[in-house]
Amino acid sequence: MKAKTIDKIATTIIVVFSLLIVAVLVGLLAFILVRGLSHVNWSFLTSVPQTIKAGGGIGPQLFNSLFLLVLTLIITIPLGLGAGIYMAEYAKPGRFTDAVRLVVEVLSSFPSIVVGLFGLLLIVNTFGFGFSLFSGALVLTIFNLPLIVRITEQAFRSVPKEQKEAGLALGLSKWKIITSVLFPVAIPSIVTGTVLASGRVFGEAAALLFTAGMSTPRLDFSDWNPLSPTSPINPFRPAETLAVHIWKINSEGLAPDAAEIAAGASAVLVILVLIFNLFARWFGNVLYKALTASKRTG
């Protein structure tokens, strides 16, 4: 068989598999959106859920999901970037480095239910943070750290050595090379890792059942005191997220329109993830261009 024929066959197979993956994704999105968008309106997005009556909404759960995302990223991004930069630029080959890399790999393969139970025993009970947004953010940090650490390390290692050597030849310090030479090149990959980690925040339910809780106090959006139990920005209050709410409705919902609420909430969750992905990629491109421009002018 000629090489051109083999190449055509291989190309056809790859294209077919790619189209199959796209078709599965499009079909899944179409099923969720067509089934749920008809139930989505402004009242649905802003009103509180109902336990036994029809017409409930997802307002507090939607806010909790967004607030939990912010808390998790505030904790995860500095830790993940610091650990990834250390592994790529400062850590010397040896037992300690191998042990750190092994811990990162093990953490990435832990089942979410196990991490949730760990969070329940240690964070919720032992440390006394209770069922709260902060407890959920700490548990999600355990999930997201391995991904961000790995991607940050790989992004920095993928920068050509010539760029680093050029910085050293100019007399730049190691930290200056990291911030001015390596980081602008690595930022697209880091943003991609952050987007993937954020998607897990939106979709995680099992771990949050044991840490953030399955209920939300009645929130007073005019109360912005972070220590108030009814304040929406209080990180130490129980908080049912959108994913947990969907699971709760499907498993024990008593409202007559529980199926419609679950379908609408699923559609909102999918749209939220898509919007965040598009925004994060746009922000990554803007940040990359800004860093590149400042590097040229500097």
What distance in Å separates the CA atoms of residue 22 and residue 41, rounded to the nearest whole number? 29
In a domain, 15, yes or no: no
Vertex 271: Cα angle to 51 and 70 (nearest 5): 80
pTM for this prediction: 0.85
Q: What is the pLDDT along the chain (298 residues), one digit of tens a residue?
A: 677 788 888 889 999 999 999 999 899 889 988 888 888 888 888 888 887 787 788 889 999 999 999 999 899 989 989 888 888 888 888 788 888 888 877 877 788 888 889 999 999 999 999 999 999 999 999 888 888 888 888 888 888 887 777 777 777 778 888 888 888 888 878 887 787 777 778 888 888 989 998 888 888 888 888 888 888 889 999 999 999 988 888 887 777 888 888 899 999 998 888 888 788 778 777 777 776 676 565 5
In a domain, 18, yes or no: no
In a domain, 78, yes or no: yes
- How many structural domains is the chain composed of? 1
Cα 93 to chain centroid distance, Å, stands at 30
Please tell me the predicted confidence (pLDDT) of residue 22. 93
Cβ partners under 8 Å of residue 185, min gap 6: 155, 159, 163
CA-based torsion, 121, 127, 128, 129: positive or negative: negative
Please tell me the predicted confidence (pLDDT) of residue 291. 66
Torsion of the alpha carbons at 45, 48, 50 and 51, rounded to the nearest 10: 120
Residue among 154, 11, 141, 163 nearest 76 (CA): 141
pLDDT tens digits along 9-44: 888 999 999 999 999 989 988 998 888 888 888 888
In a domain, 129, yes or no: yes
In a domain, 34, yes or no: no
What distance in Å separates the CA atoms of residue 165 and residue 144, rounded to the nearest whole number? 32
Residue among 232, 201, 257 nearest 68 (CA): 201
Please tell me the predicted confidence (pLDDT) of residue 134. 93
Cβ partners under 8 Å of residue 280, min gap 6: 191, 194, 195, 198
In a domain, 264, yes or no: yes
Please tell me the predicted confidence (pLDDT) of residue 297. 59
Do 52 and 66 form a contact (C-beta atoms < 8 A)? no
The residue segments making up the domain with residue 144 are 40-297
- Cβ atoms within 10 Å of 209's Cβ, excluding its own: 23
One-character DSSP codes across 184-199: HHHHHHHHHHHHHHHH
Q: What CATH number does residue 131 fall under?
A: 1.10.3720.10
- Classify 77 as helix, strand or coil: helix
In a domain, 5, yes or no: no
Residue among 281, 274, 221, 220 nearest 32 (CA): 274
